[in-house]
Structure 1
Amino acid sequence: MKAQRLWFDESRVHIMMEDGRVGSLPMRLFPKLYNATTSQLEDYRFTNFGIRWEDIDEDLSYEGFFAVENQPKSDNVISKIFFEYPELNVRQVAKRSKINPTLLQQYIDGYKNPSEARVREVVDILHRLGEELQKL
C-alpha cells in the first residue's frame, strides 16, 4: 500500500493511495495535527505504513484512513452537507450560525445529533451565504 497524495482542509486530513482510493480523518482527533502550523503540516514524509511528521512527533497509519470506525457515523443533514461540500469552512459557518465550532464539528462527524431546529438554522445560514455569493 503506497500513498500518492496528502492534503488538508479546515477540519480533515485526506489521502489518496496509488490504487485511487481516497480516505480522510477528522483532524480534531489528532491534536498535534489540529494545532500545527501550515509549515508543520506540510513537513511530512510517507513511510511504508503511514505518514510521519517529525517536527510534531505524529504518525498516522494508512489503514486508519480506511477503517470503518473512522468513517462518518451519521447520516444527518448537516453531516451530509459538509461531506458533500468539503470546501465549506466549519469554523466560519459556526461563527455565522453562532454555534460552538466544536459542536458543529461533532454534528458533522456524527458524535452528536442536531435537532430539527438546529438543522434548519444551519441550512438557512448556508442558503443566505449562497445568496450573497450569487450577488458577486
Structure 2
Amino acid sequence: MPKIEVIKVWTDDKAIYIKTKNGSVYFELFDAYPKLKFASPKERNDFETDNLGIRWEEIDEDLSFEGFVKTAKRKETTLQKALKDIPEINISAFSRRVGVPQPLMANYINGNKKLTALRKKKFEKALHDIGKQLSKVKL
C-alpha cells in the first residue's frame, strides 16, 4: 500500500477523521475502540500524529492511518448508513435497547459481523419505535 499522506486530523463526538493530501476523508468510530469510547472528549483530543498514525499517550491507544483506509474500502453496511444519517442516536443506548452487547453492535456497524435476518428486523423495529416515540412528543 502506498504511503498515506495525512494533512488534517480531527474528532467529533462519535469518531476521529483524517483528510489525506488527495482530499479523501476517512473515519473510525470511537465505539469500535473501547479506550476511545470511554475516554473523555478532552482525552480524545489529546493525541499526537506522525507519518504512520495517531497516538493517545494518556489512554495508551494507537490507530494507524493505513487502518482508516482499509476500513473505508469495506462496503458501508445498511446499519452503519442508518446510524450515520441519524447521529442523534446514541449507539450504546441503542445497543441496550435491542439487548446486544456494545462491542457486538460495533462489529455489526463496522461490517465485521453480518446481521441475521431476524436481528435486522429487530433493529429496524427498534428504530421505527424510536421514530414513533419522537413523533408523539409535544412541547
Q: TM-score range by the shorter chain?
A: 0.7 to 0.9
**What amino acid is aligned across from residue 101 of structure 2 in structure 1?**
N
The answer (yes or no) to whether the contact 2:6–2:19 under 8 Å persists in 1 is no
| Structure 1 gap segments, 5+ residues each | none
Offset at 1:51? 2.1
Write the distance in 2 (CA, Å) between the matches of 1:75 and 1:57: 29
TM-score, normalised via structure 2 length: 0.72
> Sequence identity of aligned pairs in percent?
30
> Secondary structure of 1:118's partner?
helix
1:44 equivalent in alignment to 2:47 = yes
The answer (yes or no) to whether the contact 1:72–1:110 under 8 Å persists in 2 is no
Residues 85/16 of structure 1: CA separation in 2 closer, same or farther (3 Å cut) = farther
Residues 87/3 of structure 1: CA separation in 2 closer, same or farther (3 Å cut) = farther
**What amino acid is aligned across from residue 44 of structure 2 in structure 1?**
L
Offset at 1:5? 3.5
> Secondary structure of 1:60's partner?
strand
TM-score, normalised via structure 1 length: 0.73
Offset at 1:79? 3.8
Q: Which one of the candidate residues 58, 61, 64 is aligned to 1:58?
A: 61
Aligned residues: 133
> Counterparts in 2 of 1:53-132, with a 5 A limit?
53-67=56-70, 70-71=71-72, 73=74, 77-132=78-133
Write the distance in 1 (CA, Å) between the matches of 2:18 and 2:103: 23
Q: Deviations over 1:77-108 (max 9, x none)?
A: 33442344444321111122222222222222
1:23 equivalent in alignment to 2:2 = no
Residues 46/63 of structure 1: CA separation in 2 closer, same or farther (3 Å cut) = same
| Structure 2 gap segments, 5+ residues each | none
Offset at 1:19? 4.0
Cα RMSD of the aligned pairs, angstroms, is: 2.8
**What amino acid is aligned across from residue 82 of structure 2 in structure 1?**
I
> Secondary structure of 1:5's partner?
strand
Corresponding residue of 1:3: 7
> Secondary structure of 2:114's partner?
coil
Write the distance in 1 (CA, Å) between the matches of 2:32 and 2:105: 15
